[in-house]
Amino acid sequence: MLAAAILVVHLAIIGFNVFGLVATPIGAWRGWRFVREPIWRLAHVACLALVAVQAVAGRACFLTVWQDEAAGTVTRAPLIMGFVNHVLYWRLPIWVFAAGYVAIFAYALALLWIVPVRRR
């Protein structure tokens, strides 16, 4: 049960990160005010920075580690959890993820320059 809860949190964070990467340029174009909110944007960049730093350091995301530890000796995940795990966790070398996460982080930093936060 704990492993499933961690997976839900992990999915929410992934959704937040992907949403921010897409919503920021679209929101700037459409005039959405929230895409220029400093706290939201800095939280987004901080999340992406954490992911990139972990990957560059050769470490798996701490949520992935916690989920694996919480699953313990369970050999088969429930159907939905197994499907989501299959979609999220690809068997590739860590350097592939590191390169991708650093590129995504660089894009998020570029968005800070392209779509600057609102000054108060």
Domain boundaries, the chain: 2-114
- Per-residue pLDDT tens digits for 10-63: 999 999 999 999 999 999 999 999 999 999 999 999 999 999 999 899 888 888
Q: What is the mean pLDDT of residues 56-81?
A: 75
Q: In a 3-state reduction of DSSP, which class is residue 14? A: helix
Crossing angle between the packed helical segments 94-114 and 38-56, to the nearest 10 degrees:
160
Q: Return the pLDDT at 33.
A: 93
Report, as an integer, the average pLDDT of 80-100: 72
Residues 63, 10: contact at Cβ < 8 Å?
yes
Distances (CA, A) of 1 to 5, 34, 68, 73, 74: 6, 35, 12, 13, 11
pTM of the predicted model as reported, rounded to 2 decimal places: 0.79
